[in-house]
Amino acid sequence: IAGITQAPTSQILAAGRRMTLRCTQDMRHNAMYWYRQDLGLGLRLIHYSNTAGTTGKGEVPDGYSVSRANTDDFPLTLASAVPSQTSVYFCASSLAGEGDTQYFGPGTRLTVL
Amino acid sequence: GQNIDQPTEMTATEGAIVQINCTYQTSGFNGLFWYQQHAGEAPTFLSYNVLDGLEEKGRFSSFLSRSKGYSYLLLKELQMKDSASYLCAVRDSNYQLIWGAGTKLIIKP
């Protein structure tokens, strides 16, 4: 692994189903983030984690949950998917002290029907 | 509220120079970032400004005026591969990034 990986690359999901998007980084970055990107809108922060064991809510947290059991992994769970959660989801990470520059994974394209 | 404004779309010619503007109104300021995003791909870091002035990196330069809440990204000697969206983001008082919707840059031969 080099950088940040996300899985799956894309997914079509029925409304009401539970779904976990996976994110793994091997850069030993302490901070990780989940964003959604919708056409015509800027990236919007869903949840973040400044360090393993801690998480925080971003701008649009409703309907999503996260956990940070270790430094490398930061999964995002949709407990009961709804069509408005159709979006492209990006995971990012940063190392405090480098101007906190965020580095992004390749994204997951999620469609909820 | 917090707001980042940038033009939706710009067109430029290969070999020319283009300036993409970004204005912001945020609760606090702890740096401004520019990212490049090709269609269907992840954003990639281009530049970071925290002090007023110009930062130059090869063909790309970024300028910041904190008093005016204004930044621009300058791309010189445009190449077809520069066709992408350019995202402006400001780190606010909570150290979270607030993102603009992006400027889609179309390069014509």
Could you report the per-residue pLDDT of B14-55, keeping only the tens digit for each?
999 999 999 999 989 999 999 999 999 999 999 999 999 999
Residue among B85, B97, B103 with most chain A CBs within 10 A, to mutate: B97
- Give me the residue from B42, B91, B101 closest to A104, CB to CB: B42
Residue-wise DSSP of A78-99: ESS--GGG-EEEEEEEE-TTTT
Judge whether B99 is closer than 8 Å to chain A, CB to CB.
Answer: yes
Q: What is the pLDDT of residue A99?
A: 59
The minimum CA-CA distance between B17 and chain A, rounded to whole Å, is 25
Q: Do A58 and B95 touch (CB under 8 A)?
A: no
Decide: residue B75, CB within 10 A, 0-12 exposed, 13-18 middle, 19+ buried.
Answer: buried
Give the residue-averaged pLDDT of A74-87.
97
